[in-house]
């Protein structure tokens, strides 16, 4: 039963020179590609589900796909996480659906309101043995319902939007969160930077000083691989100037700093779209979905495998499993009640 919270993962990731990849799941091919990549690289995994994914795929289907993954690969530590939960109601629903980790994102609210909604979500989640990620600061870009600032606006006023280290410790103390999504210069979507991509490493250092031991989370951290952007543009797509966070900067953030979780969604979408476009353009007579979804799945798996080395989480599955066993195999109460009975 290797479905667990992120705690055993972050215990080892913080100061351990690696981060756990949190990949967004929307359909079967994407899920399979991510899971097979983690199995091949013996890497822990956070499967993220957004409100949009719940709506698109139907939670019941997603849930059974995740159960299938857990059965296929009992050797891989997996957490199921709600990405950008916007209400305590949704947090409750996800806990009942068996999520082991939830995000409550109150970052668009005024500070005091963010504190309150986050503290409420933590109370509900902790009572069920589920961990909570919250967000402080402002990210650029657009992701589903989460609309941030344009790359230009964001870069111009970046200091104003980065997570304030002093506010972070106040927030941490008053909410009792388990991890914090921080604004350190990353952006959602495929158009993250107008100019040179740069993460605010000094801000991460300051946050680690004011909030020692608090696992930090990087959103908007896809690297937007140019090979896929080129395929998209070559085969009839139109994504000029798509730009992400360079992998060497992500690698530095996870190896030298307290970043324990890195969110990847755009890169999955991009790999899938690029491959499907390539098949459609080069084999116009093709109409068997397996023959374009199959190559898309392969491309995602290959890309995720490379990513797991960037995050340095490859080969860390065993150590996390052992640590989880040492902690007494804690599970959210949902599992204690239903699955273990």
Min dist CB 314 to Zn ion, Å, is 23
Which residue's CB is nearer to Zn ion, number 149 or number 321?
149
Q: Which of 11, 83, 86, 267 is catalytic?
A: 83
- Joined together, the tokens standing for residue 106 give 């109150």
Supply the DSSP symbol for 170: H
* Cβ–Cβ < 8 Å for 162, 38: no
Measured between alpha carbons, how far is 217 from 254 in angstroms, rounded to an integer?
10
Cα gap 140→277, rounded to integer Å: 28
Q: How far is the CB of 116 from Zn ion (least distance, A)?
A: 21
Pair type for strands 20-24 and 45-50: parallel
How near is the Cβ of 192 to Zn ion at its closest, in Å?
12
Cβ(77)–Cβ(4) under 8 Å? yes
275 binds Zn ion (CB under 5 A): no
Q: Which residue is nearest to Zn ion (CB)?
A: 219
The CA-atom distances, in angstroms, between 335 and each of 7, 84, 98, 189, 321 are: 16, 23, 7, 34, 17
Asked if 83 is an active-site residue, the reply is yes
Binding residues among 172-231 for Zn ion as defined by CB under 5 A: 219
How far apart are the C-alpha atoms of 94 and 105, rounded to whole Å? 14
Tell me how far CA of residue 52 lies from CA of 82, 140, 190, in angstroms: 11, 19, 18
Cα(171)–Cα(166) distance, integer angstroms: 9
Nearer to Zn ion, 219 or 316 (CB): 219
Number of residues in contact with Zn ion under rule CB under 5 A: 1
Which parts of 67-126 interact with Zn ion (CB under 5 A)? none
Residue 265 CB, nearest approach to Zn ion (Å): 8
C-alpha to C-alpha distance for 281 and 295, rounded to whole angstroms: 14
Which residue's CB is nearer to Zn ion, number 80 or number 314?
80
Shortest CB 247 distance to Zn ion, Å: 18
Residue closer to Zn ion, measured from CB, 219 or 269: 219
Tell me which residues in 19-78 interact with Zn ion (CB under 5 A). Answer: none
Choose between 51 and 297: whose C-beta lies nearer to Zn ion: 51
Length of the chain (residues): 341
- Residues at the interface with Zn ion (CB under 5 A): 219
Active-site residues, by number, are 83
């Amino acid at each position: 039963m290797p479905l667990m919270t992120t705690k055993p993962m972050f215990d080892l990731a913080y100061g351990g020179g690696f981060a756990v990849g949190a990949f967004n799941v929307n359909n079967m091919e994407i899920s399979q590609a991510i899971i097979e990549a983690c199995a091949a690289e013996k890497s822990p995994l956070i499967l993220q589900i957004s409100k949009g994914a719940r709506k698109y795929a139907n939670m019941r289907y997603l849930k059974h796909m995740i159960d299938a993954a857990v059965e296929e690969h009992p050797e891989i530590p997996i957490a199921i996480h709600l990405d950008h939960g916007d209400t305590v109601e949704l947090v409750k629903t996800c806990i009942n659906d068996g999520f082991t980790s939830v995000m409550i994102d109150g970052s668009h609210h005024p500070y005091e309101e963010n504190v309150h909604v986050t503290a409420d979500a933590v109370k509900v989640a902790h009572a069920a043995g589920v961990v909570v990620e919250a967000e402080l600061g402002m990210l650029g870009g657009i992701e589903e319902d989460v609309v941030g600032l344009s790359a230009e606006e964001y870069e111009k006023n970046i200091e104003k939007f980065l997570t304030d280290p002093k506010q972070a410790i106040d927030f941490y103390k008053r909410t009792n969160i388990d991890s914090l999504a921080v604004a350190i210069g990353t952006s959602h979507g495929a158009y993250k930077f107008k100019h040179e991509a740069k993460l605010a490493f000094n801000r991460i250092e300051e946050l680690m000083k004011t909030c020692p031991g608090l696992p930090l989370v990087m959103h908007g951290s896809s690297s937007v691989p140019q090979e896929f952007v080129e395929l998209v543009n070559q085969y009839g797509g139109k994504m000029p100037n798509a730009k992400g966070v360079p992998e060497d900067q992500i690698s530095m953030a996870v190896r030298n700093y307290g970043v324990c979780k890195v969110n990847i969604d755009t890169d999955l979408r991009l790999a899938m779209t690029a491959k499907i476009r390539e098949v459609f353009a080069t084999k116009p007579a093709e109409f068997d979905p397996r023959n374009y979804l199959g190559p898309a799945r392969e491309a995602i798996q290959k890309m995720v495998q490379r990513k797991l080395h960037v995050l340095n989480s490859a080969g860390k599955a065993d150590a996390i499993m052992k640590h989880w066993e040492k902690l007494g195999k804690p599970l959210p109460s949902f599992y204690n009640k239903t699955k273990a009975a």
